[in-house]
Structure 1
Amino acid sequence: MSQPVLSKLQSGVLTLTMNRPDTLNSADDAMLSALVSALEEAGSAPEVRVVVLTGAGRGFCAGADLSMMAGNAGSPTRFSEHLEHTFNPLIRAIAELPQPVISAVNGVAAGAGASLALICDIRLWSSAASAVQVFSNIGLIPDAGSTWLLPRLVGYARAFELMAFAERVTPEDALRLGLCEHVYAAEQFAAQVQGYAERLAARPLSALTLTKQALRLNLSATLHEALHTEARLQDAAGASWEHQEGVAAFLEKRKPNFLKQP
C-alpha cells in the first residue's frame, strides 16, 4: 500500500504531498491523519523552516472522499463528528503551526480541498490549477473553514456567489480575487515553488512565526486589541538573536544571515 502522504525535506523546506492521485487526492481518514501527524512533527523540528502542501498527479485535493461518508439508509451521516476528527484538526494544525505554510495548488482544489489551499499563509498556483466550492452541488454547506476564509479574501457577496453556484475559479480569477499570490507555468511549477519556499526559509523564522501569530489573532481583533498584541509580540521578536543579527547587518552594511545562530 502506498503512503497517503509523501514527505521531502530540502534546504529547510518540508514538502508534504497528498498521495492519492487516482482520486485527485480526495481525502480519506488515513491521509488526513497522516497530514496532522506530519505537521505536529514539523512544528518541533528545528530543521524545518517552511512547509509546502501539495498534491500528487493532476489534483491538489478534490475534497472529502464521499465514498467513505455515505450514511446508511434512514441513518444520515453525522458530518459534525466526521469534521471534528478529520478536516478540522488539520485546518487548526496549519493555522497554528509555527512555520509558514505554502499551499502549492498544482491542480483542482475542490470542496474541503479548497479550504486546505486557502488556510495556508501563502497560496501559489499552477497555470493548470482551479478551485471550486462544490458543496452546493451535493446539497451541503461549505465547511473546513471556507465560510470563515473566503469572505475575508473576496468579500461576503462574492463568496456567497462562488458557493451558491459552485463556480470554478481559474488561475487568472484567483490572482485577481486575491485567492493566490502567484501563478506559475505548470511545467515549471515544482521548481518555482521550491525556489519561492527557499527564499522564505532564508528569512528570520522567529519573526515570521510571531508575524503569523499576530495576523491570525488580529483577524478578529479590534484595533485596540491588535495594538496590544503587536506590542506584546514585538517584545519577543526584539529579544531574539535574529533581531540582533538584523541590526548588526544593517550597521555593517552587509546581508543578514538568518539561517545559522551565531
Structure 2
Amino acid sequence: MQLQRDGGVATIVLDRPGTKNALDVEMTDELTACLRDLQRDEDVKALVLTGAGGDFCAGGDVKGMGRSGPRNPEQRRAAMTRYRELTLALLGLDKPLVAALDGVAYGAGMSMALTADIVLVSSRVRLAMVFHRIGLVPDLGAWYTLPRVVGLQRAKELVFSAREVGAEEALRMGLALEVLAPEALLPRAQAIAQSFAGASATAMSLSKKALQASLQSELPTMLDLEALAQPIAAGSEYAAEAVRRFAAKEPAQFRWPSA
C-alpha cells in the first residue's frame, strides 16, 4: 500500500503486484490503521482510494487462503473481525472519500467502493459481487451499503447472480458518478478531493454524518439534526470568511471542479 499527500488530500493506493491488489491480512490491517490515522489528522481534508497496476481490488486473497490450508472457525472469525474493523474505519470517516476504480473491483473490492462518498470509474472497469461464485456471502459491509446505493431488488440481483457490471451500467445504477478514460481517472478523483479540501471541514463532516443517518431516520429526526447542525456550521471561522468573501465579491474558497 502506498500513501501520497498533496496539500489537504491523502491518496491511498492499494498495491499488491501480481494479485490485482487482493486484500490479504497485512494489507487489511495496514489499510485500517492508515484510515484511522488519516481520520485523526486535521491537516487531511479529503481522501482518494485507488489501486495500482490498472486494477482497483480483486477482493479477498482467495488464492492465498487456499495456500494456507483449511482454517478453523476461530481463524475465520478473526479474519471477519479484521474486515469489520476495516469497514468501520471506512464508514467512520467524517471526511470525504473519493474512490477511483480501474480494472477489476470484485468482491471485497466492490464492497470497499460502496463505502465511498464519490465513486469514479474508468471505461474499462468491471465490478462484481462475486461471493456466490465460491459459496461465500458478501462482506465488508456490502449487505448494508449495496441496497442503499442501488435499491433492494437490484442489490439482490447483483448478489444472487454474482454477475459482472461494466462502466456504463454502473453509471446507470448509481454505482458510479462519472465514467472516465483510464488516464483521466486519478487526476479527476484528486481534483474533486482537492475541491473538498477547500470546503468547510465542519459543514462537510456534519452533512456526511447526517446523510448517512438519513435512510434509517424519519423526517422529524432529520429536521432536529438540521436545527442542531446549522448553528455549528454557521459559527465556524470558515462560514464567517465565506460571508466576507461573498460580500466583497471575492472568489469562493470552495468550488466543484468542472468535468
Amino acid at match of 2:120: L
Q: Which residue of 1 aligns with 2:80?
A: 83
CA contact (8 A) 2:55 2:105 kept: yes
Deviations 1:43-101 (A, max 9, x none): 122221111111111221111112444585595676443111x2221111121112111
Letter in 1 for 2:80: L
Contact 2:121–2:167 at 8 Å: present in 1 too? yes
Distance 1:69 1:77 in 2: 15
Map of 2:113 onto structure 1: 117
Tell me the equivalent position of 2:257: none
| Match 1:47 to one of 43, 48, 52 | 43
Which structure ranks higher in relative contact order (CA pairs < 8 Å, sequence separation ≥ 6)? Answer: 2
How far residue 219 of structure 1 moved from its aligned partner, in angstroms, is 2.6
1:121–1:137 CA distance, 2 compared to 1 (3 A): same
The 8 Å contact of residues 99 and 189 in structure 2, kept in 1 or not, is answered as no
C-alpha contact (below 8 Å) 2:15/2:52 kept by paired residues: yes
CA displacement at 1:200 relative to structure 2: 2.2
Pair 1:6-2:2 in alignment: yes
Please state if 1:95 is matched with 2:60. no
**Unaligned ranges ≥5, structure 1:** none
Distance 1:43 1:75, change over 3 A: closer
Structure 2 CA distance for partners of 1:250 and 1:73, relative to 1, 3 Å:
closer
Q: CA RMSD in A?
A: 2.0
Unpaired runs of 5+ in structure 2?
A: 255-259
Q: Aligned with 2:145: secondary structure? A: helix
Distance in 2, matches of 1:158 and 1:59, equals 25
**1:22 alignment partner in structure 2:** 18
Calculate percent identity across the aligned residue pairs: 37
Shift of 1:180: 0.9
Q: Distance in 1 between matches of 2:76 and 2:57?
A: 19
Are 1:60 and 2:45 an aligned pair?
A: no
TM-score (norm 2): 0.91
In 2 relative to 1, CA 135–251 (structure 1 residues): closer, same or farther, beyond 3 Å? same
On the 8 A contact 1:151/1:159 being kept in 2, the answer is yes
Give the Cα–Cα distance (whole angstroms) in 2 for the partners of residues 75 and 32 of structure 1: 20
Q: Deviations over 1:195-244 (max 9, x none)?
A: 22212222222211111111112231111211112222222212211111
